[in-house]
Amino acid sequence: MATEIERKFLVISEAWRTQVQRSEQFRQGYLSNNPTASVRVRIADEQASLNIKGMTIGVSRPEFEYAIPLADAHELLNQLCQPPLIEKTRHYIEYAGKTWEVDEFHGDNQGLVVAEIELSSADEVFAVPEWAGKDVSHEPRYYNVLLTQHPYRQWSEAERA
């Protein structure tokens, strides 16, 4: 079984932009979301996948990902996934020996920018860049699956704080 261990932070400045090594466009939607798992279809540039994530337990959770034909992914996103879809640009940055992914959201989640780092263990020590602010790893409203149900553009000022 594969396990995803990641931490998520709000991005608090534009300083990260000068550190980007590469970027890719994402479009994703959810076929299913229930208390035990979510099933997501994702297109990253020209690669498509079906992803199954288990319920979050701390900062780790079971995750399975399978390549699928690009045409199938387009059909699934356009016909079976509940709108709104997640649209974002993912920027990759190397910092202190780790790869950080900065997600800049578009569409209904325009204005939200978060940084994620995947870890080898939940207690792994890592350096946090100066442009990464509050750790929101344990705040479900920042999960992509929940951003389809309550997009960032609908958040109150209190929710954005």
Annotated catalytic sites, by residue?
30
Widest CA span of the chain, in angstroms?
A: 42
Cβ atoms 102, 16 nearer than 8 A: yes
Pairing of the two strands 22-33 and 132-135: unpaired
Cβ contacts of residue 133 below 8 Å, gap of 6+?
A: 9, 10, 11, 12
Nearest CA among 157, 87, 98 for reference residue 132: 98
Q: How far apart are CA 143 and CA 141, in angstroms?
A: 6
Amino acid in the structure at residue 32:
S
The three-state secondary structure class of 35 is coil
CA torsion sign for 17, 98, 148, 59 is negative
